[in-house]
Amino acid sequence: MRHPLELLFKKTRETVDISTFHGQEVIFLDRIISDQMPSLTSQTLISLPVLLQQIAAVRADGFSYDREEHAEGVCAVGIALPVPGRPAHALSVVLPSYRFAARLPAIQQALEEVR
């Protein structure tokens, strides 16, 4: 089943998947994800090296930031919440960009307190 998926990916360079139905649910059997990073706003990171640097920074300081990368005028800061025996959950605060810089220290402190 992988061969048609690989051929389609080579021809389109877009995300491709193969799926089937199980009752009323769709089950994805395999996929190849495009290496193209979509730009949602002028602030969206579309450089893989820059994204990898940000991931390293998140791992180092524990906070993840969205500075109008997903939607113009909207920022967020979040943390990972470990869940024993399960993948970590994410907890974030979303706010208008015009309040982000002024509120960031208080939001970071609040996130640390609930971690």
Categorize the per-residue pLDDT at 14 as very low, low, confident or very high, splitting at 50, 70 and 90: confident
How far, in Å, CA of 113 to CA of 98, rounded? 24
Is 62 exposed, middle or buried (CB count within 10 Å of its CB: 0-12, 13-18, 19+)? middle
* 48-114 fold: Beta-Lactamase (3.30.450)
All structural domains of the chain with their residue ranges: 2-32, 48-114
pTM confidence score = 0.66
How far, in Å, CA of 98 to CA of 74, rounded? 8
How far, in Å, CA of 34 to CA of 13, rounded? 6
What average pLDDT score do residues 48-61 get? Answer: 90
C-alpha separations of 79 from 24, 55, 86, 90, 102 in Å: 35, 12, 16, 6, 19
